[in-house]
Amino acid sequence: MRSNQYSPPFLPVVINKKNGFTAERFRAIKTNLQFIKAESGAPLQSLVFTSAHKGEGKSFCALNLAVTYARQNVRVLLVDADLYKPKLTGQFQMKYAEGLSNVLANYADPMALVQGTSEANLMFLPSGVVPPNPLELINSYRMKEVLETYKEAFDLVLFDTPPVLLLNDGRILGSLCDGVILAVRSNVTKEKDVVQAMDLINRADGRVVGSVLNGKKYGAREMKTYSYY
């Protein structure tokens, strides 16, 4: 496991302002997830973030939730599992770094390419070199082995995956993990697309444990109410 410290150039509000309104919203999401158990009855340890379509905020939500957990002394691994257009990898300035695709294709040590971040309890695995066969790598026994390795090393593993109405990778990973979280963008995502996305995940034996409404505009009065606590 590499010890390099990276400060991502894209800093969501939750990172810059620990006690802000957005940070409080992500803490509420974390609290809600604590009451949901895996099918085995154990706490959720592996989660997939996806959306119906692109541009709905799944990467933003995955990163913010990962930081929220890390700041409450949870050892978190955030994995950029979008092997087509890896947004998080670009934000962490690791566009050409080896990562998940290399681990899956070359049978490298799964921990060797995990990177440190500016958050003490948050580690990051970039997507790696864009492969010619992303779905084959994800839909493999090797992926299952790698996931088990990460679950042994971390308290929580979060995967950022492509939109499920465009690609199947998120559905495959969802079937391997404890749960799937669907990012929904306010006034953008259509209800029929949410229904279709959930149906596709369920048919792949995935388990949708919740959704995150992203991009909702709050009034000054609502935000002031939260500042009281």
Q: What angle do CA 159, 163, 69 make, to 5 degrees?
A: 30
pLDDT given at position 197: 95
Q: Could you tell me the strand order of the sheet in which 115-116 lies?
A: 115-116, 122-125, 76-80, 156-160, 46-51, 179-185, 208-214
76 DSSP β-pair partners:
122, 156
Q: Exposure of 110 by Cβ count < 10 A (0-12 exposed, 13-18 middle, 19+ buried)?
A: buried
Q: What is the model's pLDDT at position 66?
A: 95
The predicted pLDDT at position 56 comes to 87
Q: Which residue type occupies 179?
A: G
Is 111 exposed, middle or buried (CB count within 10 Å of its CB: 0-12, 13-18, 19+)? middle
pLDDT given for residue 72 in this prediction: 93
Please report the pLDDT score of residue 136 as a whole number.
95
pLDDT at 114: 95
What CATH number does domain 13-227 carry, 3.30.450.20, 3.40.50.300, 3.40.140.10, 3.30.210.10? 3.40.50.300
The pLDDT averaged over each successive group of 10 residues in the chain (229 residues) is 47 55 85 90 94 90 93 96 94 90 89 91 94 94 96 98 95 96 88 94 94 69 45
**What are the domain boundaries of the chain?**
13-227
- Cβ-in-10-Å burial (0-12, 13-18, 19+) of 30 comes to middle
pLDDT at 209: 94
